[in-house]
Structures are given as structure tokens and as C-alpha cells.
Amino acid sequence: MGGGFADSLRAAWALVTGFDARLAEIVGLSLGVSASACALAAGFGMAAGAWLAVARFPGHRAVVAALNTLLALPSVVVGLVVYLLLSRSGPLGAFGILFTPRAMVVAQTILVLPVVAALTRQLIADAWRGNGEQLRSMGAGVVASAALLLLHERLALVTVVLTAFGRAISEVGAVMIVGGNIDGVTRVMTTAIALETSKGDLPLALGLGIVLLGLVGAINGLIALVQRWQGAHAQAAGQ
């Protein structure tokens, strides 16, 4: 297997340095779909998670348990459900977005929404536990408290979004089913890897995998650098 890995590294290097147009297209689509899904999931998920952390109502514990269960939602299941919804024979077929990137965004948004919501809820609930009383004393209701705590915990929320992004860009089950892995239209990195694997071109498949990991690593590194710069900036302002 050692030879196999060496071949994969060589394949990965060739892919990256070759600036293959089709690879660029696939990478671009992966980033676009997953980033869009994360942006949508972040918008709704953070609001829902923060609200859930602060609000109290009968059945609250059941809702939190249900949300945490959705963290384990298998991507194939999401793909299947979204496929049935978007199929021409399904309730939302009239939109005609099956087998297009839009369907993939929908599926991935549904997949990572619980991730964002559950992690946000945990984060905000911890902040609320210590400080909720003071916020209420100042006149903050549920919505204002949720919003202020989101603002207060914004740095930690970056990690939540990155986690969701990682989940989205690495999943294959959902985008395969609702996208169809159509060459040049809905082929993303993970479905390309699946295809090359089933064709038996394992070095290329692994090479693509290495490129994918490298990409996510680069994004994480970039975010970390920006946060470092922000921190240094705040320190300087502190003087």
C-alpha cells in the first residue's frame, strides 16, 4: 500500500501544479455549494440556536434533545429526502432544481443546519447560564439577549461555522443523490473522488482527497491568521 500512497501524492501534486481547468471547476463548485449552504445554515441556525438557548417553554428539553439527535443525520438520508421532495413527481418538483447546484445547496443546508444550531445553542446556553440574570436586569428580553450573546461570542461562532463547513464540504451522500454527479454541472470534489474510486483509479481518487484536505486546511489557516491579526489589533488598541 506504500506504493499506492506515493502514487497518490504524485497524482495530487500533478493535479495542483497542472492547473487543470476541470479540477478548478470542480473545486470552485465544491467551495460555492458548501459555502452557500454554510451561509444559509449560519443565518438560520445561529438565530435558532441562540433563541433556543435563552427561551423557555414547555417541551424545551425535548426540542433540545431532538436537535442534538439531528447532529447524527446521515447525509444519504438527507439526500434521499430532498430528492423525493425535489423530484418532478414530488411536492416541490415544479421548481425544477433537481440535478442542479441549487438542489445541492438545499441538501447541504439541511444537513448542517442542526450542526450550527446545536453548537450555537450549547455555546450561548453556557454564556447565558452565567450572565443571563444581568442581561435580564438591564431589560433584555429573549430576542435581545440572544442577539447580544451572539455578538458577545462571535469569535467562538467562527469555529462553529468552520465545523459546519467541514461537514458540508466533506459529505458525499447528499450531493450525489440530489446532484447526480453530472460532469461539468454538479460534480464536486467528493463525488469526483467517489467516481474515480469506483472506476478503480485509486491514486487519482486519493490525490483528489489530498487536494480537498489541503483546501480545507488552507481555509482554516487563513481564518486563524485573520483571528491572530484581530487579536493583535485589539491588544494594540488596548494600550
Out of 71, 185, 213, 232, the residue judged to bind another protein by CB under 8 A? 185
Cβ-in-10-Å burial (0-12, 13-18, 19+) of 19 comes to: exposed
Is the four-CA dihedral 214, 220, 223, 224 of positive or negative sign? negative
Dig out the grid coordinates for 183 from the structure: 460532469
Can you read off the three cell numbers belonging to residue 106?
438545499
Verify binding: residue 23, another protein, rule CB under 8 A.
no
**Candidate segments 10-18, 29-37, 48-56, 60-68, binder of another protein by CB under 8 A:** 29-37
140 binds another protein (CB under 8 A): yes
Cβ(8)–Cβ(206) under 8 Å? yes
CA distances from 236 to 207, 224, 228 (A): 43, 18, 12
The yes or no reply on residue 91 touching another protein (CB under 8 A) is no
Residue 232 in the binding site for another protein (CB under 8 A): no
**Single residue of 79, 180, 207, 209 touching another protein by CB under 8 A:** 180
In the numeric block, the cell 497524482 is attached to 11
**Residue 88 engages another protein in binding (rule: CB under 8 A):** yes
Using CB under 8 A as the binding rule, whether residue 32 contacts another protein is answered as yes
Nearest Cα neighbor of 225 from 158, 150, 127 is 158
**Which CB, 70 or 140, lies closer to another protein?**
140
Of 31-39, 65-73, 115-123, 208-216: span binding another protein (CB under 8 A): 31-39
- Give the shortest CB-178-to-another protein separation in angstroms: 10
Q: Exposed/middle/buried for 11, CB within 10 Å: 0-12, 13-18, 19+? A: buried
Residues that bind another protein (CB under 8 A): 28-29, 31-33, 35-36, 38-39, 87-90, 93, 96, 98-102, 105, 130-131, 133-140, 144, 148, 151-155, 157-158, 161, 180-183, 185, 195, 197-202, 223, 226-227, 230, 234, 237-238
